[in-house]
């Protein structure tokens, strides 16, 4: 990315997953993230987890970034369509999206 290029938007999606659904859903989401990265050059995707053993669930966060171009509207829609379908099939809802733009570094 050139210094003059504006930083792109990064997407952070978080939601709760019951422990019983975690293993199967994790495998499906990681496979889908790999397919999305292959289909959209430069896209970087991660899946993070926070476990709350007392609650019997975990909080997951999907992170998507693409240096330079960012996660534009069409890509965001493709991500949500594919990932939300797996979550819905596993009985997981309540996906919350936060979008952030990196600030330019100090001169």
Q: Is residue 24 part of a domain?
A: yes
Q: What is the pLDDT of residue 107?
A: 67
pLDDT at position 7, please?
63
Tell whether 74 is covered by a domain. Answer: yes
List phi, psi (to 5°) of 2: -75, 155
| 4 in a structural domain | no
Is 83 inside a domain boundary?
Answer: yes
Report the pLDDT value the prediction gives residue 1, as an integer from 0 to 100: 35
| CATH number of the domain residue 13 falls in | 3.30.70
Query: Does residue 34 contact residue 9 with C-beta atoms inside 8 Å?
Result: no
CB atoms near residue 88 (< 10 Å): 11
Per the domain annotation, does 1 fall within a domain?
no
pTM: 0.87
Query: Does the residue 97 lie in any domain?
Result: yes
Q: Can you give the pLDDT at residue 76?
A: 94
Task: List, run by run, the mean pLDDT of 10-residue segments along the chain (107 residues).
Answer: 58 95 96 96 96 87 93 93 94 94 81
54 occurs within a structural domain: no
Residue 91 belongs to a domain: yes
> Could you give the number of structural domains in the chain?
1
């Amino acid at each position: 990315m050139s210094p003059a290029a504006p930083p792109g938007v990064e997407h952070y999606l978080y939601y709760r997953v019951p422990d019983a659904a975690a293993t199967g859903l994790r495998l499906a989401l990681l496979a889908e993230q790999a397919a999305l990265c292959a289909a959209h050059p430069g896209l970087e995707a991660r899946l993070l987890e926070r476990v709350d053993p007392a609650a019997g669930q975990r909080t997951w966060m999907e992170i998507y970034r693409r240096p330079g171009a960012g996660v534009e509207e069409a890509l965001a829609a493709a991500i949500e369509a594919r990932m939300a379908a797996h979550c819905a099939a596993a009985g997981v809802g309540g996906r919350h999206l936060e979008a952030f733009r990196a600030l330019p570094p100090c001169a």
